[in-house]
Structure 1
Amino acid sequence: MPDDIPTIDLAAALADDAPEELLATVRRAAETLGIIQVVNHGVPTEVIAGFNDGFRRVLDLPRAEKEQLASPTGHPNRGWRQWPDDFGRLELERFNIAQYDDTQEAEAAGLSPEHATLYRHVNVWPPQEPGLREATHRYRDAFVDVARRVLTLYARVLDVPADTFSLGDDVHTTVVVNNYPKWPYDSASDEEKLLLLEHADSSTVTVLHQEGDYAGLQGQHPDGTWTPVPIRPDALQVFTGTLLTNWTDGRLRPGRHRVVAGGSVTRRSSAVFVHPGLDTVVAPLPAFADPDGSDFEPVSVWERANGNVEEYLRVFGRPEQLAAWRESRPYVAEVIS
């Protein structure tokens, strides 16, 4: 189907002699789905494998060992955590890595003391994998490069200058590894068992790699129907986030997506969420702004990042998780064994 999520040869699309049909496919997907797959993206196989293999070993550890990798202060976006559905069944394990390990590293990288407070809750690095920190940095840097190149491509297909969607030198990122379990319970339909609820990311773009034996990741068409994102080991998925939608005054649709249960093995995805620097205020750019006004309000990247945890816990936090956060202690959700 022409409206399904396209696979784009990124190098070919960025070439001076890129076929018009290819560029038209990119533009159509960006405007209607907000999701593309890219191949020939330039990320070395060993960079992806080094990161994924390390985290596969971590997430395959016995649960008692993984519990020691939870945030010591109960931060929901640091280290390992798991969450159950309303029946106590495990839906998802997640490992979160912030851009900097602590406030000292953030300030050394040039962040202001105020912005560095975003990292007062430290990263948790598994001692079982001493090379994982370096592998994560390589992975993140390579995916940020893909994000920049895709933004250049989007500028091209929208006929605006190549640097229109510049992230700047102080790009803000987070890295997330998701582990979706095999689902042995009966489900009559996708809607009856979602392992990750439908949403659009709050990034500029999100770059993801997925592994598994079923296309559990789905993207949403404008009419509300869903289409699977095929698993290709050589492909990366790129999702338009709400910041890019804001920049384009709604021209580029945010990539709404969800994850459904299924498959005979654990499904894993690893994402890098890419934003401009924390000092940035995102508002419709002049090339896209409607002279009659816009429905999009300016968004402060700093204010959104600084309020992220409280907003998450307000919407999704359970009483025992909120208590752990307020008391600055580890939280591990109980699940059915």
Structure 2
Amino acid sequence: MRIPTIDLELWAAGGTETRRAIGETVDEALRTAGFLLVKGHGIDASATAEIRAAARRFFHLPRAVKQPYAVQVGGRGWLGPGAEANAYAEGGDGPPDLKESFAFASYDPTGDPVVDAEWFDGPNVWPAEVPAMQPLVEAYLDRMRALSDGVLEVLGVAIGADERHFTAHTGQATWGFNINWYPGTERVGPAAPGQFRIGPHTDFGTVTLLDRQPGLGGLQVHTDEDGWQDAPYDPDALTMNIGDLMAHWSGGRWQAGRHRVLPPPPDAPDEELISLAYFYDCDLGTDVGGIDAHAFLRDKLAAIIAD
């Protein structure tokens, strides 16, 4: 599967020819799989390990303790078992995803009460039972916002424009962040037919930056040429994919990365994984390929609420 690795440190230090060559690599990858591996990102592995440790303490709490933090898809808080079915975004009607998540979202109000009520409605929620989560996650989110703009600068060159082509529209971008917990079979039971930790789908926004753990029940990527294949993994790299908004923004030149996360594997039923998924969008009111970006996003989020 043609999923290349790019190095942001090389990009930052490189001249015009280096950046042009990296842009060509990115363009080819996004026209096929919609995925890249990104090195030189500056995110300390110890920071993500601490977030995982704090999140694991929360997810292992009794359900009754977690319940006060429960929300629907699009809210800020705990998405419990059965809350989400990503395959619905593709018109599927299978069982819900075998995961739990803790979700965060943009918290930089615009001052417009109508806009803020929909997209910046109150601060993020922090579980009192795990006080270490807040400072760890807030520091990480600051880094991921800046990193996402850096990635979009690369994409601006890759599309044949300039570095500001996309970031001119991210001064007050909305974003989401999910800590996804994939417990083993002892928690979720055996997978039903057609059931996944996350069902087949494409993401909705511009870029997704994923810090993932490898596993037998891990991430797979779909291309027309190769079908479903295990996503390549590099412990020093983040996994990046583009979403539906970016595919529109490219005029259909690029493909949103279709992916899924396999259910707990029969030969490793106790496998437990935690992924950190940062979803970046754009400024409210941005016209992306003839669509209103945030009306599109809201419809997509509503579509994956499990019945």
Q: TM-score, normalised by structure 1?
A: 0.75
Q: CA deviation at 1:251?
A: 0.9
CA distance in 2, matches of 1:27, 1:308: 26
Are 2:102 and 1:95 aligned? Answer: yes
When residues 172 and 89 of structure 1 are mapped into structure 2, their CA distance, relative to the original with a 3 A threshold, is closer
1:142-168 Cα offsets, whole Å, 9 max, x none, are 122222222221222333212111243
Aligned match of 2:171: 169
Unmatched runs of 5 consecutive residues or more in structure 1: 101-105, 284-297, 319-337
Report the identity percentage. Answer: 27
Q: Does the aligned pair in 2 maintain the 1:215–1:228 contact within 8 Å?
A: no
CA distance in 2, matches of 1:92, 1:306: 22
Q: Does the aligned pair in 2 maintain the 1:212–1:266 contact within 8 Å?
A: no
Q: How does 1:130-169 map to 2 (within 5 A)?
A: 130-166=131-167, 167-169=169-171
Aligned match of 2:258: 256
Q: CA deviation at 1:54?
A: 2.0
Aligned match of 1:295: none
Aligned match of 1:83: 81
When residues 225 and 62 of structure 1 are mapped into structure 2, their CA distance, relative to the original with a 3 A threshold, is same
CA distance in 1, matches of 2:130, 2:76: 17
Q: CA deviation at 1:235?
A: 1.7
Q: Which amino acid aligns with 1:251?
A: R
* Structure exhibiting the larger radius of gyration computed from Cα positions: 1
Q: CA deviation at 1:269?
A: 1.0
Q: CA deviation at 1:225?
A: 0.1
Between 226-235 and 111-120, report the one with greater CA deviation. 226-235
Aligned match of 2:201: 199
Aligned match of 1:34: 34
Are 2:276 and 1:270 aligned? Answer: yes
SS at match of 2:229: strand
Aligned match of 1:245: 247
Between 247-256 and 123-132, report the one with greater CA deviation. 123-132
Q: Does the aligned pair in 2 maintain the 1:47–1:138 contact within 8 Å?
A: no
Between 191-200 and 179-188, report the one with greater CA deviation. 179-188
Are 2:65 and 1:65 aligned? Answer: yes
Aligned mate of 1:299, from 279, 288, 291: 291
CA distance in 1, matches of 2:99, 2:184: 10
Q: Which amino acid aligns with 2:6?
A: I
Aligned mate of 1:178, from 155, 177, 180: 180
> What number of residue pairs does the alignment pair up?
288
Unmatched runs of 5 consecutive residues or more in structure 2: 86-92
When residues 151 and 120 of structure 1 are mapped into structure 2, their CA distance, relative to the original with a 3 A threshold, is closer
